[in-house]
Structure 1
Amino acid sequence: MEGFELSDLVPGLPGEIGLECLTRLPHPSHRVASWVCRCWHQLLESREFYHHRRHLGYTRKVACLVQALPRPAPPPEATAAGGGSKPTDSPGYAVTVFDPVGRAWERLDPVPGYPGGLPLFCQVAGCEGGKLVVMGGWDPASYDPVTDVFLYDFASRRWRRCAPMPSKRSFFAVGSHGGRIYVAGGHDENKNALRTAWAYDAWGDEWTELPPMTRERDECEGIVVGGEFWVVSGYRTDSQGEFEGSAEAFAGGEWRLAEGVWEAGRCPRSSAGGFGSDGRIVSWADSDSRVQVGPSGVAVGDMTLVTGSEYQGAAQGFYVRAGQGGKFERVGDVPDGFGGFVQSGCCVEI
């Protein structure tokens, strides 16, 4: 813990004991504790303290979900008149945090500038230090693509606006590894599929351009496997909706193409998991019939939170699967307001 005067942490206690006390402090108490004094504030929100807690096993992993909010009930006069009871507008979305160990649910405050909900089709990624990044999507009011990037610090429990994405893109792939968040593919404002890719450093708030992928990939999906960022499937500008069976991995500063690792013609959005024993990328839709519609999977440590429905229009189901081939265990007692459709998600270690 270089750079911190430990003797000032707790008056009357040796510095090492004071540090041990704060290290054992439950994470939900960090925000209040940071108000005690400037020394505690600087320590609790530092990168060094996060790694210190992680090294000693005091961090935990949670799933951060882009989840549909409950629709407000129609006004009584609209229902009485026989109209307005069937909503036609898109639902609002917010970030839901689920702790698979404690089975605790929480909803984060809205991001700055979007009090009614997240940008539609935005992407989320976790990064070291207990931070969640939300980027891109469409303005919920105008449906125009945005380049906004927001970072949520679980230590301070606050959002802040970050350096915007270098260009507007929709339905792109995202993945996080090694302290950087990778973005690739999608399409531009003219519906042209993209090959371009970028990496974002959340600590430095900087974007770095990467070499372009081998081909255009619109509506692709990003996963991280074995320390490599994989961009799965997608389609080219001249073949709208014709999802490819290929994928490509970024490692060592270059892209590596892999043919035949995904089912051609199938949309990979939020449903692509890791690699199966046959060397192909599995789809969560095939893992259990209860999540075959609108599936989404988030790896959280040695378990995976899988969401989806059994059929179109069915209630959203929430399941936890241990390991690679473990059974699906239904998450019971989901609180009111947390049963909405899950668009996507990521893991954050806090």
Structure 2
Amino acid sequence: MSESCNSRHFSWLMKSCFPNPNHDYHSSNTHQSITTTTTTDISSLPDDLLLECLSRVPSSTLPSLSFVCRRWSRLLLSPSFLHLRRHLHPLHHSLFALSSTTVHSGTLHFDDACCSWILHPFNPSLPLHSHAFANFQSFLSQARLSAIGPRIFIMGRNAMLRYDTWTRILVPRTPMLFCRKKFASAVVASKIYVAGGASRPPAVTVDEYDPETDTWRVVSHVPRIRYGCIGASVEGVFYVIGGLKIGDGTAGGREAHLYASSMDLYDVEARAWLRSRALPGGGCVVAACAAMGHVYVLANHAVELSFWRFDARRNGGGFGEWSRMKGPPLPGQVRVDSRVKFSCVGAEDKVVLVQVMGCIDDLLRRSGRSSRGFKQSLVLVYHTASGDWTRAPDLPEVIQRATCVDFES
């Protein structure tokens, strides 16, 4: 990719920013007349002015603009560009689903009138020589997803990839400091934070990843070592939610229960832990996400599911308050057991709940039920403003055992 920019790639908006080189500016007095002609090209614009221009172009043109030159590509993926886009409100939220069995991915654009899934093969186009990618499907099955703008980071036990939703290109990145499995991850201020998960030795730290420098570092130690936990972030706080106690192997039923229904709060800026919070009425957290200043939690109570909202607005006066919300309208065929998995994703003012089954044939055979009307991957949308649930298009059959994340573009 060229470092310089060519004017044939400019939109009318960009060209309008430059002086017309054919226009003469005259300054005259009684003694003389001076004519000055000024020419300017895009490479002479400072980054801040160029960002102001790029942040106003339509979203549909951003993928092609990223190919103009390295400088444009760098600016379009910078935190400053995302901040400007959010300030101007032209960002679009989409749901990205990645299959761990069929190596396919799909995108659901909520702003589209038709709101349908767009499928993409997820075959890596780069040579993955590391032993961590020897079984690519196994790597995907254990991975966690985090999105920063249009880039999605796929974190496995001992490897990491960056996927560009604009170019469909996979790039290896520096793996985590510890070989974690079933850990919590979330994005805070354009950096990724991970905690918990199983590893040998146990990972007792919170680690921070900087995508600009492709480096990891330890920022804190955890108050509890959780396995199978879920991550979320609101207003600079990293939430490590649910999971089971690991480490010394001495946890009794009471302590294990408290782990499964509680969450730890890490203040990223202060580098300090806030007081832990517990879900009212207990239960086991099976899915969680953040949306509109709140943390939404789906809990399993063995025979039923409950849906809760935690007020995470630290300056709103209600910080720490729990509210029970209207539960998801799951079909009667769905049983609440270990074979049914849920993925919860916050997408601006929506909470997207994806129900992911195990092997559908095995489930039907064990339950003795007919496959008629039985949905393997149901997608439900909770609207935070109205408190209502609506049905979104089901995950395509080719996307099985999906891991989901919301991304902005």
Instruction: Quote the residue 2:242 is aligned against.
Output: 233
1:88 matched residue in structure 2: none
Counterpart of 1:96 (choices 106, 116, 136) is 106
- Listed one character per residue, the Cα deviations across residues 249-280 of structure 1 (whole Å, up to 9, x for unaligned) are 01020112424336646253568835347934
Distance of 1:159 and 1:55 partners within structure 2: 29
Amino acid at match of 2:344: G
Letter in 2 for 1:59: L
| Preserved CA contact (<8 Å) 2:185 2:232 | yes
TM-score, length-normalised on structure 2? 0.63
Q: Which moved more, 1:240-249 or 1:322-331?
A: 240-249
Q: Residue 294 of structure 1 contacts residue 308 of structure 1 at CA under 8 Å; is this kept in 2?
A: yes
Q: 1:288 aligned to 323, 329, 343, which one? A: 329
Does the 8 Å CA contact 2:280/2:322 hold for their aligned counterparts?
A: yes
Q: How does 1:293-304 map onto structure 2 within 5 Å?
A: 293-304=340-351
The alpha carbon displacement at 1:64 in A equals: 1.9
Gaps of 5+ in 1: 69-90, 137-145
2:46 paired residue number: none
Query: What is the DSSP-based 3-state SS (H/G/I as helix, E as strand, rest coil) of the residue aligned with 1:24?
Result: coil
Q: CA deviation at 1:162?
A: 1.0
- For residue 141 of structure 2, give the secondary structure of its aligned residue in structure 1: coil
Counterpart of 2:90 in structure 1 is 58
CA–CA distance in structure 2, aligned partners of residues 157 and 44 of structure 1: 16
The 3-state SS of whatever aligns with 2:278 is: coil
Structure-2 separation of matches of 1:169 and 1:334: 28
CA distance in 1, matches of 2:142, 2:381: 24
The secondary structure found in structure 1 opposite 2:284 is: coil
Counterpart Cα distance in 1 of 2:234 and 2:378 = 26
Give a deviation string over 1:165-209, Cα, whole Å, max 9, x none.
11101111111121111100111146x5x4321011112212120
The aligned counterpart of 2:404 is: 345
Aligned partner letter, 2:142: F
Change (3 A) 1:219 1:41: closer
Matched, 1:256 2:274: yes
Deviation of residue 333 (structure 1)? Answer: 7.2
CA distance, structure 2, for counterparts of residue 39 and residue 206 of structure 1:
21
Equivalent residue for 2:321, pick from 257, 279, 285: 279
Cα 1:95–1:306 shift into 2, 3 Å: same
Provide closer, same or farther for how the CA distance between residues 333 and 152 of structure 1 changes in structure 2, counting only shifts above 3 A.
Answer: closer
Q: Does 1:306 align with 2:353?
A: yes
Matches within 5 A, 1:69-148: 91-102=101-112, 103-106=115-118, 107=120, 109-111=122-124, 112=126, 113=128, 117=137, 118-127=139-148, 129-136=149-156, 146-148=157-159
**Structure 1 SS opposite 2:227:** coil
| Offset of residue 295 of structure 1 | 2.1
State the 1:289 CA deviation: 3.2
Instruction: Tell me which of 217, 220, 223 is aligned to 2:226.
Output: 217
**For 1:174, which of 181, 185, 193 is the aligned residue?**
185
Q: Flag the structure with larger Rg.
A: 2
State how far apart, in whole Å, the 2-side matches of 1:33 and 1:160 are: 20
> 1:134 Cα shift?
0.7
Name the SS of the counterpart of 1:255 in structure 2. strand
Given the superposition, is the C-alpha separation of residues 187 and 32 from structure 1 closer, same or farther in structure 2, using an over 3 Å criterion?
A: same
CA drift of 1:93 comes to: 4.8
Count of residues in Structure 1 that have an aligned counterpart in Structure 2: 310
Greater RCO (Cα-Cα under 8 Å, separation 6 or more)? 1
Q: Report the residue type matching 1:250 in the other structure.
A: Y
Contact (CA 8 Å) 2:343, 2:404: kept in 1 or not?
A: yes
Amino acid at match of 1:61: H
